[in-house]
Amino acid sequence: MALNFISAAEAASLVKHGYNIGLSGFTPAGTAKAVTAEIAKIAEAEHAKGNPFQIGIFTGASTGDSCDGILSRAKAIRYRAPYTTNTDFRKAVNNGEIAYNDIHLSQMAQEVRYGFMGNVNVAIIEACEVTPDGKIYLTAAGGIAPTVCRLADKIIVELNSAHSKNMMGIHDVYEPLDPPYRREIPIYKPSDRIGLPYIQVDPKKIVGVVETNWPDEARSFAEADPLTDKIGQNVADFLAADMKRGIIPSTFLPLQSGVGNIANAVLGALGRDKTIPPFEMYTEVIQNSVIGLIRDGRVKFGSACSLTVTNDCLQGVYDDMDFFRDKLVLRPSEISNSPEIVRRLGIISINTAIEVDLYGNVNSTHISGTKMMNGIGGSGDFTRNAYISIFTCPSVAKEGKISAIVPMVSHQDHSEHSVNIVITEQGVADLRGKSPKERAQAIIENCAHPDYKQLLWDYLKLAGNKAQTPHFIPAALGMHAELAKSGDMKNTNWAEYTK
Ligand code: 0RQ
């Protein structure tokens, strides 16, 4: 069956008001771009005529501006899941305009399969190659593409020449069976391959192929600075010490590292620390620093869901594919983030917190308890199941007006039961094997900024000693209340709560 080449506008016209679209991609890597940009134009034209036009978006993780950004500005999104990083999308969500379902990334594909979110009407999949017999070769990410391709009524392929065909062979496409027939996912080491290098679809479902040349819209990273370098060095020192104690085997364990500036800098520092042997990654995103570490031989193998790297870095990988081919694999998100595999491989997870409380509960998603930042992403998939779960963050934010260490988190994503280690530029709090009161001592002593230490000790005093997890409930969110009132948590006055 011959492929039907159509324009992005023609493809977009197949998407109707009320439809759910399923997208390839995971972070801006590998996300469809041209068709979503045209859908936004249709939405704007319909809205100008007074007609409703909104769609649901199912995807792997965040997307680029040509999806979440353009569609949010066009007020074309009714519903979306999961993780996102787009500023305009964030504004619309925090304005109450979009129904945003922030679920664990490992669960996205299966929840679509289970029918929790409705039908997938159209799948839009970015490919570096597509064949008339229905083989779709993905670009820089696995995401939920295999699942939405199988479930969708229609498939549109964006054949993007900005991605090299050298990508063919890097993916390992595998979809588990659903309960009650599910078996183990047979990955026993990060480099194991268990599936196909392409998605096989019924060619009759491919209603159009849109040729594009549209580079990925990955953000650039802030340069590492003394603060992120210090956090990174603290992580490296901690891991080296745990290896010396025999807690981490001398062969080391696979690492997962989160997304963002801090995660990128932490990985860079880990790579430089030669007391840590060359290691493997079983992670969701490979960022720029990891590509450098693979080149240097510091990372032996990278299994991920996406290459979330800058375009020059991606081009470098494409140009050197002979070198990278046996050192990289990209997987669907339900495999890259599978709790079963995280537990089996003994992964050391390193994610970034927005705030951490005295007992080790972590907020990764909400600013001051109510406003969405990005989402939980894969941090929960890894943290809950890791061999050692680590959270890093600077001890203060916004020029020191906000302490990342607070008496009680204003929103909770990861509980005290799952969080092992907290690391700031101040130091390392090892929470393993400790009671809540012992954890509070370790966190204030080692992680809080000096400007906030006394305030936090004073809160503990106020909370008293006669409880398993001491709190003085009327004041537990007092630092957040003070931030809302005066703009600076340092002005918190516990005496106001005991008058
Ligand atoms: O604000 O953007 O205005 O400067 O939050 O913080 O310090 O630049 O750190 O880029 O690493 O992002 C948790 C959001 C950190 C990210 C989070 C403000 C701060 C800054 C960004 P500005 P930094 P990062 C794998 C795993 C959840 C998902 C996850 C994230 C901005 O890492 O989304 O881990 N994680 N996924 O000033 C107010 C506080 C604050 C604060 C920081 N306490 N109060 N603002 N900020 N702390 C990836 C995937 O799942 C795909």
Cα 499 from Cα 483, distance rounded (Å): 20
Q: Which two tokens stand for residue 99?
A: 């129904």
CB neighbour class for 19 (10 Å; exposed up to 12, middle 13-18, buried from 19): buried
Cα 177 from Cα 156, distance rounded (Å): 25
| 378 assigned to a ligand binding site | yes
- CA–centroid distance, 419 to ligand 1, in Å, is 18
Q: Which of 38, 158, 280, 284 is catalytic?
A: 284
- CA–centroid distance, 394 to ligand 1, in Å, is 10
Task: Assess contact for 288 and 313: CB atoms under 8 A.
Answer: yes
Measured from the CA of 222, which atom of ligand 1 is nearest?
8
240 lines ligand 1 (CB under 6 A): no
- CA–centroid distance, 353 to ligand 1, in Å, is 7
Q: What is the DSSP letter of 347?
A: P
Q: How does strand 348-352 pair with strand 355-357?
A: unpaired
Taking residue 182's Cβ as centre, other Cβ atoms within 10 Å add up to: 11
Reported pTM: 0.96
For the chain, 499 residues long, the average pLDDT of each consecutive 10-residue run is: 94 98 96 96 98 98 95 98 96 98 98 97 98 98 98 98 96 97 97 98 98 86 83 93 95 90 81 90 93 94 95 95 97 98 98 97 97 97 98 97 98 98 98 98 98 98 96 98 98 94
Those residues whose C-beta lies under 8 Å from the C-beta of residue 164, and which sit 6 or more positions away, are: 128, 318, 321
**DSSP string of 405-420, one letter each residue:** EESS-SS-SB-TTT--
Question: Whats the size of the chain, residue-wise?
Answer: 499
This complex has an ipTM of 0.97
How far separated are the first and last CA of the chain, in Å rounded? 79
Measured from the CA of 374, which atom of ligand 1 is nearest?
33
Active site annotation includes 284: yes
Nearest residue CA, atom 33 of ligand 1?
Answer: 374
Measured from the CA of 352, which atom of ligand 1 is nearest?
32
Kindly report the three-state secondary structure assignment for every residue of 79-115.
EEECCCCCHHHHHHHHCCCCEECCCCHHHHHHHHHCC
pLDDT of residue 177: 96
| 464 assigned to a ligand binding site | no
pLDDT of residue 84: 94
Cα 57 from Cα 320, distance rounded (Å): 34
Shortest CA distance to 281 belongs to which of 259, 308, 255?
255
Q: Which of 86, 103, 354, 361 to mutate to test the pocket of ligand 1 (most atoms within 8 A of CB)?
A: 354
- CA–centroid distance, 209 to ligand 1, in Å, is 37
Max Cα–Cα distance, the chain, nearest Å: 79
Nearest residue CA, atom 8 of ligand 1?
Answer: 261
Those residues whose C-beta lies under 8 Å from the C-beta of residue 10, and which sit 6 or more positions away, are: 208
Nearest residue CA, atom 49 of ligand 1?
Answer: 377
398 lines ligand 1 (CB under 6 A): yes
Task: Assess contact for 205 and 154: CB atoms under 8 A.
Answer: yes
Shortest CA distance to 122 belongs to which of 31, 36, 196, 15?
15
Task: Please identify which residue in the block is written with the tokens 């870095």.
Answer: 313
367 lines ligand 1 (CB under 6 A): yes
The residues facing 306 across adjacent strands are: 141, 285
pLDDT of residue 499: 82
pLDDT of residue 22: 98
| 354 assigned to a ligand binding site | yes
- CA–centroid distance, 352 to ligand 1, in Å, is 7
Measured from the CA of 398, which atom of ligand 1 is nearest?
37
Task: Assess contact for 304 and 27: CB atoms under 8 A.
Answer: no
Nearest residue CA, atom 19 of ligand 1?
Answer: 397
Task: Assess contact for 207 and 5: CB atoms under 8 A.
Answer: no
404 lines ligand 1 (CB under 6 A): yes
Q: Which of 259, 288, 338, 382 to mutate to test the pocket of ligand 1 (most atoms within 8 A of CB)?
A: 259
Q: How does strand 371-372 pair with strand 388-392?
A: unpaired
pLDDT of residue 268: 82
Report helix, strand or coil for 260: coil
- Region for residue 346 given its phi and psi (left: phi exceeds 0; alpha: psi -120 to 50; beta: otherwise): left
Write the single-letter amino acid at 245.
Answer: R
Taking residue 397's Cβ as centre, other Cβ atoms within 10 Å add up to: 15
Measured from the CA of 365, which atom of ligand 1 is nearest?
27
284 lines ligand 1 (CB under 6 A): yes
378 lines ligand 1 (CB under 6 A): yes
